[in-house]
């Protein structure tokens, strides 16, 4: 079985290689971490303490680990923690968010790569964030006695039929999972429906709610506001965040229209993919707007004074959107206007009490969307005209917009508690540490390969 999968992966990688090489040349993606991805040459662990290996695919999954790992360090300081990611942006955010932990690229699901990585880390438990059901990785972990857990597990209504179609192929992988902590009763039922043993599935809730900042005066929010020159700026702020191609044009059109009656309004655009920043800046200027840009491509420019700040700000950095939502009066959450994306995280601006707007395509966050809409704590906009009208009505009746935002904030705060339930699950899975687990100096060190040669 693993060799058949290896052959299938190899064929798929060969077919996709021209596209991957073109993207690597154009954007710089996929250029690093080859030894870790293809050969499993991840950092080697020297100690014998219980070790949790968290695999978080990209930025969103990495960030939701913040409350979990902070609480884990308080409850189980003797446990070691390492984090792997799949994407370069995910790894960048993991290194910045968890500077004291060892982070690395996860091996691709080739049998030799995952076996080598597991033998070097020797985790007590492999903890997969959300739904990362890689057959070779799970099989190799189970075969070496590593417990395997899925936390914050989720199967969407859209993806459920696909999983069910391949239920027979998934069965061997699902049987090797020791536990699944599902986000909701709905996801738990779907895990059971595709073949997961019912007594190994429990509902823990979504950790995403626990990690959300809800204080607009938080240090990171204040610091970012100063660095953008928005401290003391008059007028409301409209943040269009996690935008995909085409959504910036919709947001800019709505902003241009309502600004006629509200000239003090400022627009902050935060694209989902930072590599689009340069093209977006040129396009915004071609529409007749001066733009102040904070970018991953160069050092941040000096913060202008509020009077000198252009009305349009473009922020194509990584990991700052969660704080940017804290200065938004009006928030449009991207990835939602056009089919195929499933929406982005509308819970972050909701936690800050912003007036939240998003498109109709939000299948990735269906439970959260239903909760917000049931409480009339968010609004759905389907095109540029509806976004324009929503902005116009919020600006004309700020008290109503603020009440809607407070309703969203109240909904988010009421959902908290998943972190504690998930930690209890992991605690039972790993068990209490044995007597020799006090040997936990440096968590990981490289073996014969240096960190740079492994990249």
Q: Which residues are catalytic?
A: 61
Quickly list H helices, 144-182: 160-165, 167-175
DSSP 41: -
**3-class DSSP state of 25:** helix
Burial 51-63 (b: 16+ CB within 10 A, else e): bbbbbbbbbbbbb
Burial 25-37 (b: 16+ CB within 10 A, else e): eeeeeeebbebbb
Burial 117-150 (b: 16+ CB within 10 A, else e): bbebbbbbbbbbbbbbbbbbbbbbbbeeebbbbb
> Residue 123 and residue 118: Cα distance in Å, rounded?
7
Beta strands 102-105 and 201-203, pairing class:
unpaired
Q: Given the structure tokens 């696909």, which residue do they identify?
A: 162
| Angle, helix 247-259 to helix 277-286, in steps of 10 degrees | 40
Q: Provide the 10 A C-beta neighbour count for residue 20.
A: 12
Angle at the Cα of 269 (from 267 to 274), degrees rounded to 5?
A: 160
> Residue 73 and residue 54: Cα distance in Å, rounded?
14
């Amino acid at each position: 079985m693993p060799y058949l999968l290896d052959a299938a992966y190899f064929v798929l990688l060969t077919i996709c290689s021209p596209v991957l090489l073109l993207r690597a040349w154009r954007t710089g993606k996929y250029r690093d971490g080859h030894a870790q991805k293809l050969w499993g040459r991840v950092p080697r662990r020297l100690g014998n303490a219980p070790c949790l290996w968290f695999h978080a695919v990209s930025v969103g999954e990495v960030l939701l680990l913040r409350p979990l790992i902070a609480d884990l360090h308080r409850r189980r300081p003797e446990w070691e923690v390492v984090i792997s990611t799949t994407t370069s942006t995910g790894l960048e955010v993991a290194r910045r968010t968890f500077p004291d932990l060892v982070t690395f690229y996860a091996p691709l699901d080739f049998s030799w790569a995952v076996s080598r990585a597991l033998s070097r880390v020797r985790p007590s438990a492999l903890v997969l964030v959300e739904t990362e059901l890689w057959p070779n990785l799970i099989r190799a972990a189970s075969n070496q006695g590593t417990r395997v857990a899925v936390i914050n597990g989720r199967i969407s209504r859209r993806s459920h039929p696909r999983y069910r179609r391949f239920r027979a192929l998934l069965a061997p992988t699902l049987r090797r999972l020791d536990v699944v902590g599902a986000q909701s009763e709905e996801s738990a039922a779907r895990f059971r429906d595709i073949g997961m043993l019912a007594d190994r599935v429990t509902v823990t809730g979504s950790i995403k709610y626990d990690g959300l900042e809800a204080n607009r005066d938080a240090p990171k929010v204040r610091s970012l506001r100063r660095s953008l020159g928005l401290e003391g700026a008059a007028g409301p702020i409209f943040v269009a965040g996690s935008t995909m191609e085409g959504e910036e044009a919709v947001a800019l059109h709505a902003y241009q229209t309502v600004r006629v009656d509200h000239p003090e309004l400022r627009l902050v655009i935060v694209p989902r993919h930072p590599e689009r920043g340069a093209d977006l800046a040129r396009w915004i200027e071609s529409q007749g707007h001066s733009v102040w840009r904070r970018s991953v491509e160069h050092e941040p420019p000096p913060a202008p004074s509020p009077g000198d700040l252009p009305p349009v700000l473009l922020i194509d950095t990584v990991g700052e959107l969660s704080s940017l939502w804290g200065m938004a009066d009006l928030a449009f959450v991207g990835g939602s206007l056009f089919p195929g994306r499933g929406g982005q995280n509308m819970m972050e601006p909701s936690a800050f009490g912003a007036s939240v707007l998003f498109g109709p395509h939000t299948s990735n966050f269906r439970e959260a969307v239903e909760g917000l809409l049931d409480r009339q704590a968010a609004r759905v906009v389907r095109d540029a005209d509806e976004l324009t009208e929503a902005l116009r009505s919020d600006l004309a009746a700020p008290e109503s917009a603020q009440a809607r935002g407070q309703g969203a904030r109240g909904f988010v705060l009421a959902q908290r508690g998943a972190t504690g339930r998930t930690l209890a699950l992991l605690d039972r899975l790993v068990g209490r540490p044995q007597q020799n687990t006090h040997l936990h100096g440096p968590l990981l060190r490289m073996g014969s390969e240096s960190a740079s040669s492994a990249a």
